[in-house]
Structure 1
Amino acid sequence: MAHLNPRHPLIQLAALIVWYAIDRVASEPFQFRRGRPALRPRLIAGLLYVQHLYDLSDEGVVWS
């Protein structure tokens, strides 16, 4: 992560979030034995936050 700016507001916010708690609470419901493995809850929570913050569509958050 040496290429990321530690002063960027989103990097600072990420340092404040208790990610393991999100993983613990949201991982269990997505434990399937078949198909593609689920994405990590941390990724989904982060994408949803960015989507809301910048008022992006689903496609917009993927391409940003």
Structure 2
Amino acid sequence: MLFFAFLFILVAILHIFFPKFGWFMRYGWMVKDRSEPSDAYILMTRISSVIVLIVFLFVFLPVLFN
């Protein structure tokens, strides 16, 4: 269980600092030309990752360490 918590935190931090990487892993390989994610996608990815990380840290981590 602790491994999955660490993995979840790692993925959220990667999405905060490198949102283009997530886009290329999910959508970038499907397009033929060299396409880039929009600024709105990058902003929403960062915002949602921060929110998810905060919720995870305040809700699930105390449960793991009890």
Smaller-chain TM-score range? 0.3 to 0.5
Task: Give the TM-score of the pair, scaled to structure 1.
Answer: 0.33
Which structure dedicates a bigger proportion of its chain to helix? Answer: 2
Q: Which has the higher contact order (CA 8 A, sep 6+)?
A: 2
